[in-house]
Structure formats: structure tokens, C-alpha cells
Structure 1
Amino acid sequence: DDKDMQKATGVLDSYGIRHLCIGKPQDERALLLTHQDKDYLLFIDYLRDIWFESSYLLDRKQSGEACAKKRFLNYKKQPIRYRFPKEFKGTLNSYGLEADRRKPTGIKAAIIREKGVNGDREMAYSLYLAGFDVKDVHMTDLTSGRETLDDVNMIVFCGGFSNSDVLGSAKGWAGGFLWNDKAKAALKKFYARPDTLSLGICNGCQLMIELNLINPEHSQKATMLHNDSHKFESQFIGLTIPENNSVMFKSLSGSKLGIWVAHGEGKFNLPEGMENYNVVARYAYRSYPANPNGSPDGIAGIASADGRHLAMMPHLERAIFPWQCGYYPENRRSADEVTPWIEAFVNARRWIEQHKK
């Protein structure tokens, strides 16, 4: 506005910098240019379509006509909208957290890694910030028997490309558990305990589905399929958290939040019927590209029937701070220290504090 203009020009004048006003912001999505006594009205949405058309023509060769056309038609129809939890204050203090904590809390979480996993650092920090003492466990620790998971209450399978996804996403990683007696026994014992939680993100989600850790009671095992676009999808999208009974996401029910996705095989194939799954996260829009993989009903994450074990494709650990987000509401961008995603990790720690044996 004029007040801001005066302030800006005042600063320039104070330093003796010559300046010229060449434009002013306006509410309409159009640019009005004046040159040599002629006015030119340029409509932004129309120009965006022209700019995007080249990408669409190239995308047809990668994704095929159907997905490329959907991306071209929907990119401007799928805005990311936020709806924050009612009690969310955006501060570390509101959760009783300290960023510089050095004393152990006694609540242990283990990050389980395999060759090619790359999301362990962000996940370790998210857990640490939420009050966990974080332990690094490589698959060789489990297969050799050096690690038994007896002293941890939460395990996390991180995202990445385990074994380069050579045999399919997480197939080789799953084999490390299925065909090694020590690793298999440690995992089975962990899931048999009533005081444990687990989380699988992206490649970790694919692993949990492959090992049937979410719904072992089902006669038909769920699977993860290639994205409908037949290519790796990486973007910042909107996620909706429905009413659910999961440990980590229950308090976020009704929220709409932004989050990152980065995967090639993220489409849930749920053979038992939707009513038999505990859906804890859905993409904000059912159509591509906001639904990046074509999952039925926009499903992005599911939990076990008791809510203790959660598998999801999007990366909440990559969006715990506003500055990590591709978009965050302007009125909260500077004020919030953390996003609501940190609450999921805090919920996990608090549950363990109440149920730890």
C-alpha cells in the first residue's frame, strides 16, 4: 500500500539511491502494463497455461496422455489448504519440548536402516525433538544378533531406496527379515509386546505392507503398486486427517496440512474392502496430481486396528518446521516454531510413557 511505498522509498532516499516506481500490487490476477501511451492487460492464469503447456507436451511421453492431461488441467484447481488442530499453538513450549535438550528421557525409539535408506537423519531429529532417546539400528545389527529391540518401545522404518529397489520397493529389505532367523525373531518379539509402537514412512511403509505388519489378521495381504503415472512423484501436497483412533494421528483428526511425497510405488492396493482398514490419512484431492499415485479414495496412510502401528507414504518428518514446507499460511509462517506434524511424534512418546512396562 501507499504507506509501505513511502517507507521503502524513504529508506532508498536516506542512502541517496535513485529509484523509480514501475508497478504496484493489485487484487486482480492480471498485469496492467503501460508502454508508450498504450495499455496491455495480461491475464496471469492464461499465461500460466501457456507456460505449462510445454511441460504437458513433454509429460505425455513420460506419464502418458491421461495423467499428463490431468496434471495440466488440475494444477491450478488443487490449492493446498490448511486447517490447524484447535489446540495447536505452534510453539515448542506448548508441547513441553526443548530444542537443546541433552538429558535422556528414558523413552527409546530405534530407527531401522537398510542399504539405500536416506530419511534417517530427519526422522532421528523429529523423534529427538519430540522427547525420544533415538537409537540407530542397521539391518546388520539385527541379522547378526547384536540388536534385539528389547530395550526400545518404538521402531521406525524410514524412507529411501533400500537395496536400490532392484527387486521392487522394499522387497529386498523385507527379505532381510523373512530369511534371517535372528532378525525375524527380534521383529516378531517386538510386535508381540503390548507396549510398542511402529511407524513406516515411504520405503518403510512399503516394507510394513510387504511384511503384513499392519493387518496380520487379514486373509488377503495388502500390496503397494506403481504410481498411475508410471514415474517417481516428488511434490508438496495437501493431506487430510480423517477421524481415526491411531496413537499418532488421533489428535490431528479433522486437520488439513501440507506434506512432502517422494515415491514411485505409492498406490495402496487393499483387497479386503475399505471398511476393513483403519485409514488415518488421505490426499486432499482424489485426482492426479494431488493424489500422486492413484490410491483408491485418496488413501495415503493406514494404521493397525488398535492404532499402534502406522504406515504412510508422505514424509511428515520433512515438514515439522514451517520453513521446510513448500507452502505454509502466511499469517503463521513467522510465528510458528513447529508445524502440527510434530504433535504426532509427541503423541507417540506420551503413549509410551503411559504404557511402558
Structure 2
Amino acid sequence: NGVRPFDLAVEQMFGSSPKTYMKDNTVERHYESPIYTPSDLQEYLTGVLQLEAVGCKDWLTNKVDRSVTGKVARQQCQGGLQLPVSDCGVVALDYRGVKGIATSIGHAPQAALADPEAGSVLAVAEALTNIVWAPLAEGLDSLFLSANWMWACRSQEGEDARLYKAVKALSDFCRTLQINVPTGKDSLSMTQKYPDGSKVISPGTVIVSAGAEVSDVKKVVPQVMVNDKDSTFYHIDFSFDSLKLGGSAFAQSLGKIGDDVPYVQNAEYFRDAFLAVQELINGGLIIAGHDISAGGLITALLEMCFANVRGGMDIDLKYLDESDIVKILFAENPGIIIQVKDKRRQETEQILEDAGVGFVQLGKPTDKRCVLVSKAGTIYPFDIDELRDVWYSSSYLLDRKQSINGRAERRFENYKQQPLEWVFPATFKGKFSQYGINPDRRTPSGIRAAIIREKGTNGEREMAYSLYLAGFDVKDVMMTDLTSGRETLEDIHLIVFCGGFSNSDVLGSAKGWAGGFLFNEKAKAALDRFYARKDTLSLGICNGCQLMMELDLINPGHEKKGKMLHNDSHKFESSFLNVVIPTNHSVMFGSLSGSKLSIWVAHGEGKFSLPYNEDTYHVVAKYTYSEYPGNPNGSDYSVAALASTDGRHLAMMPHLERSIFPWQNAYYPADRINKDQITPWVEAFVNARKWVSDKSAE
């Protein structure tokens, strides 16, 4: 008919399947509310901060690669101490670092126990107040959700009826918000039966995942407060409901659930509030912010301070229309905290007022290392550093079950004593023009580099872009190209062995990859000829570093060979940390001597085991802190990178190719984050290109 290419009834495709009718009875269940006294506030907070849902997740985030692809613009950890306080994750669509994709999750299992409808709405609300910090390309119209239903259907009377109410509430809420839920997953048999006839029923809940297109990954708001006295904190309410403690972490910490659960009373108001905050973000008005969910307002305030090493907050709750200090601090009504520069307060308040959004002023940053909360003439001091250790303690207890050699204890002792610091080269300006490079280059330079990769390599794309940006023409070479003789490397001046998990590391890191060279005549001959030339450079990153050490390409004259061993923790380590560049004469790092820079690491076997004294080696990068986790693997002499004696060949565990742009960095100097186009790591690649160019001209 000119509109539809075909128009068939579902019955014509799949037949007329019988309809399933499920019947259940509604069963009212009530849960006791917590009993409390304001004088025990500190004790309550200690209990809440140690709950798994509230406490630090460092034990999870430190063992997964959070930088792979080089397109990660926002991962779990933030601030000078790199603690997991992020509300959302963001990845760039390409290496230009503009458009991207944001993701977040939300769930409210305790609230769903008391009220399945509220549990669904609060799960959606948490996902949205988490993702709101990313500037969405088309506001809520950019957003889509996925709902994962975890329910013990048919396990007891009333459970199916609860599921029906929960699904309908989520559907109604999202329809009013004008948000699509196109996908999801159902796990509806969450019941465990035992031989003695007993059974355990999982509390019904929905886990909501949100995703949306981001207009600019560099504008994502951090969850770490800025130590600027000329700024103000605001509370923005998203619930349009009175403060309630039912289904909260506070109630759970006291062994209760409660019946009185917060709700989003007006979905249209929620939408208006979300869009108003998006307008503030797009206008650059918010310098920091945090959602209010598990743990309540006090947890959000503290988490904004935890990842810093200095500063605190002076909070006055006089504008909040609630007298119960426990409800104010621990209620989990959907809402957010924002920090705004004072010179833009009037503009911020006007936007919120025009949108009809409720907000109150909370307070200001202070030099004191505590969160001072005032209400009705009473002051409640909360020591940030002391409570941060309480918040971190659950992570430490879990980390003990996965780390060995006392590394969990070392991490707990040292995490707050190893802040990120920088000493940039005096000549560094942070601009493409400084190095004569152009990201829009579309013509070949004639200076050729090759990426050599094996099955399981995963860092080749970000490396290829880094090389191309620096001025190389980049060639992709698989090991099969070398073993078959199709590639000889005769026209290549720089080869790079990239990071990843070659051959799944089943024989040990890079052992199988090394065998591909050692036991193949053509591949070995091509490599030997390349290293015999005087006009060549080589670089090995992570898995490539392990390969170069295994092939003895850095110090071939040493009788005793250096080795790469398992990390002292015997687990994968992923961190954004400091390295120092000692005085050296390597081609790539020589000009960076004296610098202290931040960089990504992600490896399981990154420990340099070096049999000779440190001065025997050409060390070109060292971890700034010798103690774990600043030295993530226990390398001898805190070595992060070694170069050959002549400085032409470099083996390095950290990923400089994932750290060349400020937006790739998990933390970057505040005075440069909005000015620099690139980081000093680009200089290493430019140095290599210039060296090859000079050699070719000789």
C-alpha cells in the first residue's frame, strides 16, 4: 500500500497460540518500622555506610579493565584518591571525544518488599538521577531503559499479584515520562527449595538499566565536590513526596523494612526536574553533583568528599521542611545535590524556578575536613576521613577473599595516602599545534609504523589512533602475516606490540605469542632483521611488554634475564595512577624526564622481576608510590617501563595510548581540564615520529 512492505497478522506467522491465564490473590503484608533516637546518629551512620549497597565497591572496580578501547570517558572511580563514587558510565563513540553513550542502573529491593509499585518507580528514578549528570543529546527523548525482573513467581500466595502491580507501576511511570522500555529480562523462578521441604524466596525486584546518547562526553558532571569557597550546594527534590524511611538502607541497618516507602508522586514534575537539570548541565552551570539514593542525603554529601584529600562542607538544613533529622539525613526520596559557582547562582535558580522545580540551598564548601550539618540550632559534625574508612571497610573485608600476600590490608592502609599528583614538562602547552599535529589529517606522511597483534590483542585501535595522531601512517599486521611471509617489516620503522590477552594467556602472559616468533622461521627472521637495523624503534605495551621481556628484546646482553611475574596480589589490577619519568635518554621518554604524570594500568602479570641492581637498567618510568596499590604489581624498584641501552626499544606495562586526551583520564588537573586538547603522553609518540623522520633524512 506504499506504507508497509508487508502487512501480516501475527496469527499468520506463528499460528493462534492459546492464551495463558494466571490467577492470584492480593495478600497484604506489613513490616515493622525502625525505632530510633537522634542522639545515636553517628552509630546509625556507621551501620549504614557498611552495608553492601552503600559501602565502597573498590573490591569490584580494581579488578576489571576500566580503560580498554581508550574510549572510556567516565568509569566508576573519580577524584584524587580514585574512589568508586560515579553515578554513571560514559564511553565516547570515537577518539575525537565529543559524542558518546551514557549508562546507569537503578534498583530498590528493600522498598519493593514493602511496596512493589514503589520499588519499580524508585528503581527507574534511581537510574535516571544517576544518568542525569551526562548531557543527553535530546534530553529524555534520548533515553531508553531495560528492565530485568527478578521475582519468585508462584512461590507463595500474592507473589504474582505483587509482580503484576510492579510491572504496571513501571509501565505507567515510564509512559508518563515518555520513556521507552524496549527490552529486558525475566528471571521469575527466584525460589530455592531444599530436601527438608524448606524454601527460600528471593525478594521481588526490578533492576533498571538506562542508556542514552551523550552530546559531549567532556561535559559530564563529576560526583566529587570542588574546593571552591565561592560556590553553593543545592538540594533538588525529584519525588514531590514527604521524607520517608521505609525500604531504606537505614531501616535495613536496624534489621527493619518499614511500610512507609517514598514514591514519585508526580511523574510530570519528575520529567520537568530532569530536563531542568539537563539545561543547567548544558549551560555549564553545575560543577559537581550527586544523586540521593541508598544511604540518603548524608551518604551523598560524604561521597562527594571521600575522593578528595582536603576540604569539607558546611550544611544548614533550615530550608528543608522537616524537623526529624534522621529522616532528613537517611530518607531515600529521589533527589540530587548540585554544586554551583556563586557568580552563576541567580541564573541557576531562575532556570529551576521557570521549570517549577523545588530546590533549597544547603550550604558551602569549607576548609575543615568534616561535613558540619546544622538543624534547629543543633550541629552534627561528621568526620570525613574517619567515615571514609568505615565506608571502605566492607570493600576491604571482601578484598581479603580475592587478594593474597596481605595486599588487601596494604590497600586499606594506603589508599588514602597516595593521591594523584602532576608535574608537567615546562614546555608543555596542551595544544595540537605545539607538536605540529592535526587530528583532521587525511594525507599520508610516509613515516610508517606497524601494529603487530595476535589472537586476543585488544588495544590495537587506541594505539593505532595515537600513532596516526602523532604523524605515522599505521599498518595492521597480524601474526599470520609474519608467519606466512606476507609481511617482512622491511618498510616499517616503528613496530608496536599492543596490550590484550594473546592466546587467552593460557600458557602465561605472552608465552604463546613469543612462541609464534621463536618457533616460526619466517616470523623470527623478519623480527631479527628489524632489530638488526639502526633506523628502527619498537614499543611493547602491557601484553606487548610481556612479549618483549619474554623475547629478551630490551637487554639481550644480560646473562640473567628479567621476567614478568604475576602481580603480588595474584589478581588482575586496574588503576589510574601516578608514574614519574626519571632522567633518561630514551627516544620516546627522554624529553619527559622529570615529569610526574597519571596513566592507566590493567594487567594480571605486570611485576618486573629484575635480577640486577637498578642502575644496571635503563629505567624510563617508575610508579610514584613504592607501596601497593600505587605500585600495583610489586615490581622491583617500582619499575613501570624499561628501555634498551640505546633508548630505541621500550617495554612498558601502563597504557599511555589510553591516556593521551584529558577526557580519557580518570582525573586531570582542574586548571587544565577545560584548556588542554592533549596530555603530555602524546609527546612520546611525536618524539618517535621525529626520530624516524630525522633518521630517514640522514
1:287 to 620, 627, 638: 627
1:218 to 540, 552, 558: 558
Q: CA–CA distance in 1 between the matches of 2:629 and 2:404? A: 13
Q: Counterpart in 2 of 1:48?
A: 388
Unpaired segments ≥5 residues, structure 1: none
1:74 to 414, 421, 432: 414
Q: Counterpart in 2 of 1:276?
A: 616
Listed as ranges, the matches of 1:169-184 within 5 Å are 169-184=509-524
Q: Counterpart in 2 of 1:326?
A: 666
Q: CA–CA distance in 2 between the matches of 1:230 and 1:119? A: 23
Aligned partner letter, 1:158? C
**1:238 CA displacement:** 0.4
Q: CA–CA distance in 1 between the matches of 2:357 and 2:410? A: 48
**1:36 CA displacement:** 4.2
Q: Which has the larger radius of gyration?
A: 2
Q: Is the 8 A contact 2:448 2:475 kept in 1?
A: yes
2:481 to 141, 146, 149: 141
Deviation per CA, 1:102-153: give whole Å up to 9, x if none: 1000000000000000000000000000000000000000000000000100
**1:256 CA displacement:** 0.6
Aligned partner letter, 1:122? E
Listed as ranges, the matches of 1:314-353 within 5 Å are 314-353=654-693
Q: Counterpart in 2 of 1:263?
A: 603
Unpaired segments ≥5 residues, structure 2: 1-229, 231-341
Determine if the alignment matches structure 1 residue 5 to structure 2 residue 333.
no
- The secondary structure found in structure 1 opposite 2:579 is strand
User: Normalising to structure 1: TM-score of the pair?
Assistant: 0.97
Deviation per CA, 1:283-341: give whole Å up to 9, x if none: 01000001000011210000000000000100000000000001100100010000000
Q: CA–CA distance in 1 between the matches of 2:614 and 2:429? A: 34
Q: CA–CA distance in 2 between the matches of 1:167 and 1:10? A: 63
Q: Report how many residues are paired.
A: 357
Q: Counterpart in 2 of 1:206?
A: 546
**1:270 CA displacement:** 1.2
Q: Is the 8 A contact 1:196 1:308 kept in 2?
A: yes
Q: Is the 8 A contact 1:300 1:312 kept in 2?
A: yes
Q: Counterpart in 2 of 1:311?
A: 651
Structure of higher RCO (CA pairs closer than 8 Å, 6+ residues apart): 1
Listed as ranges, the matches of 1:224-263 within 5 Å are 224-263=564-603
Aligned partner letter, 2:368? E
Deviation per CA, 1:59-101: give whole Å up to 9, x if none: 1121136211110011010011011001000000111011010
**1:10 CA displacement:** 3.7
Determine if the alignment matches structure 1 residue 63 to structure 2 residue 403.
yes
Q: Counterpart in 2 of 1:152?
A: 492
**1:28 CA displacement:** 2.1
1:125 to 462, 465, 485: 465
Q: Is the 8 A contact 1:218 1:272 kept in 2?
A: no
Deviation per CA, 1:201-245: give whole Å up to 9, x if none: 000000000000001111111110111111100010001000000
Q: CA–CA distance in 2 between the matches of 1:264 and 1:15? A: 50
Moved more, 63-72 or 282-291: 63-72
Listed as ranges, the matches of 1:15-30 within 5 Å are 15=355, 17-30=357-370
Determine if the alignment matches structure 1 residue 191 to structure 2 residue 531.
yes
Q: CA–CA distance in 1 between the matches of 2:641 and 2:477? A: 24
2:431 to 66, 88, 91: 91
Runs of 4+ in 1 over 6 A off after TM superposition: none
Q: CA–CA distance in 1 between the matches of 2:501 and 2:486? A: 24
Q: Counterpart in 2 of 1:162?
A: 502
Q: Is the 8 A contact 2:404 2:568 kept in 1?
A: no
Q: Is the 8 A contact 2:405 2:569 kept in 1?
A: no
Deviation per CA, 1:260-286: give whole Å up to 9, x if none: 000011111111322211000000100
- The secondary structure found in structure 1 opposite 2:672 is helix
Q: Counterpart in 1 of 2:233?
A: none
Q: Counterpart in 2 of 1:103?
A: 443
Q: Is the 8 A contact 1:204 1:311 kept in 2?
A: yes
Moved more, 295-304 or 56-65: 56-65
**1:16 CA displacement:** 5.1
Q: CA–CA distance in 2 between the matches of 1:44 and 1:331? A: 25
User: Normalising to structure 2: TM-score of the pair?
Assistant: 0.50
Moved more, 7-16 or 39-48: 7-16
Aligned partner letter, 1:303? A
- The secondary structure found in structure 2 opposite 1:25 is strand
Deviation per CA, 1:41-62: give whole Å up to 9, x if none: 1111111100110111111121
Q: CA–CA distance in 2 between the matches of 1:188 and 1:297? A: 30
Moved more, 251-260 or 271-280: 271-280
> Percent sequence identity over matched residues?
66
Q: Is the 8 A contact 1:111 1:136 kept in 2?
A: yes
Aligned partner letter, 2:433? N
Q: CA–CA distance in 1 between the matches of 2:639 and 2:653? A: 9
Aligned partner letter, 1:181? E
Moved more, 37-46 or 108-117: 37-46
Q: Is the 8 A contact 1:195 1:355 kept in 2?
A: yes
Q: Counterpart in 1 of 2:26?
A: none
Q: CA–CA distance in 2 between the matches of 1:231 and 1:51? A: 23
Distance 1:301 1:34, change over 3 A: same
Aligned partner letter, 1:154? L
Q: CA–CA distance in 1 between the matches of 2:425 and 2:377? A: 52
Q: Counterpart in 2 of 1:113?
A: 453
- The secondary structure found in structure 1 opposite 2:381 is strand
Aligned partner letter, 1:70? R
Q: CA–CA distance in 1 between the matches of 2:574 and 2:503? A: 20
Aligned partner letter, 2:576? F
Q: CA–CA distance in 2 between the matches of 1:227 and 1:19? A: 49
**1:18 CA displacement:** 4.2
